[in-house]
């Protein structure tokens, strides 16, 4: 999935001193993902915020961190769309188009691409961000368009961790390559464990219980084998679907986000 234009909400304890390391993310944590603009002084009480860094200044980040935990900026390491600031310099170096999401596939082995992505990291960290949310990592699995570029991705992550040892990296999906990325990431987010998007109907529906259990088993195995915390992300257009999702995940002790597909605003808290 490439939907992480998201806001997430779950509940938490111990904001100021919370270390979001392995085994520390539970269903009690509050996480917010929002890619639209908002007033930072009006947001408080989250352990982890993921946002679109272009909307926020250093002062904004400082305000957010005063009343929240870690603040991360979104970045896609697998694709770029035409609205991205770095698209003009990379458009001639992409490897093809993803027609589903109207984006272009990055060549993470290309020198200019590497430099452009590293510049985004540097720019956001200089604003005071604690780290980055890494989207489109699933492009580098056997199910994506560029599995042959996996080692270049690992090299990139290694370079980032060497330059910024304290950076917090949240990987989106790509469970099959966690064995290789686990040395560099701090947590993994997974979309649509309970639900699945029907492109024909253009809406989210519940997965079969067998599908749900298979995905859950994969995540639990990854969590146990590599000690990587998990955040679950779900989408619901109404309260009934939200209740169905919560019912299935009631005994799962991981943070769970349930939001709408437009994902541009901060949701109201229950």
Rg value, the chain, Cα = 18
Q: What is the CATH number that goes with domain 31-259?
A: 3.20.20.70
Q: Which among 235, 233, 247 has a CA at the least distance from the CA of 204?
A: 235
Q: Are 235 and 202 in contact (CB under 8 A)?
A: no
Residues of the chain under the 50 pLDDT cut: 1-18, 22-23
Spell out the domain ranges in the chain: 31-259
What pLDDT score does 270 carry? 62
What pLDDT score does 9 carry? 42
Phi/psi at 242 (5° precision): -60, -45
Count of positions (residues) in the chain: 270
Dist. CA 246–CA 240, nearest whole Å: 10
Q: Are 187 and 223 in contact (CB under 8 A)?
A: no
Q: Are 183 and 17 in contact (CB under 8 A)?
A: no
Q: What is the pLDDT of residues 151-185, one digit of tens each?
A: 999 999 999 999 999 999 999 999 999 999 999 99
Cα 209–256–258 angle (5° rounding)? 85
């Amino acid at each position: 999935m490439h939907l992480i234009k998201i806001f997430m909400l779950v509940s938490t304890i111990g904001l100021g001193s919370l270390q979001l390391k392995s085994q520390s993310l539970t269903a009690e944590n509050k996480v917010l993902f929002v890619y639209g603009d908002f007033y930072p002084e009006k947001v408080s009480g989250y352990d982890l915020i993921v946002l679109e860094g272009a909307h926020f200044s250093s002062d904004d980040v400082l305000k957010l961190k005063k009343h929240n935990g870690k603040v991360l900026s979104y970045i896609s390491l697998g694709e770029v769309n035409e609205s991205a600031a770095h698209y003009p310099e990379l458009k001639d170096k992409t490897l093809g188009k993803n027609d589903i999401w109207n984006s272009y596939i990055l060549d993470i082995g290309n020198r200019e691409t590497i430099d452009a992505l590293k510049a985004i990291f540097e720019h956001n960290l200089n604003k005071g961000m604690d780290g980055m949310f890494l989207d489109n990592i699933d492009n580098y699995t056997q199910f994506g368009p560029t599995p042959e570029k996996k080692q270049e991705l690992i090299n990139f992550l290694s370079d980032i961790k060497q330059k910024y040892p304290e950076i917090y990296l949240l990987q989106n999906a790509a469970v099959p390559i966690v064995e290789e990325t686990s040395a560099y990431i701090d947590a993994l987010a997974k979309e649509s464990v309970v639900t699945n998007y029907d492109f024909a109907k253009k809406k989210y529906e519940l997965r079969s219980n067998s599908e749900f259990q298979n995905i859950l088993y994969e995540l639990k195995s990854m969590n146990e084998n590599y000690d990587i915390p998990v955040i679950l992300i779900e989408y619901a257009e109404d309260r009934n679907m939200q209740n169905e999702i919560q019912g299935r995940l009631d005994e799962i002790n991981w943070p769970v986000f349930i939001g709408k597909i437009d994902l541009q605003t901060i949701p109201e808290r229950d």
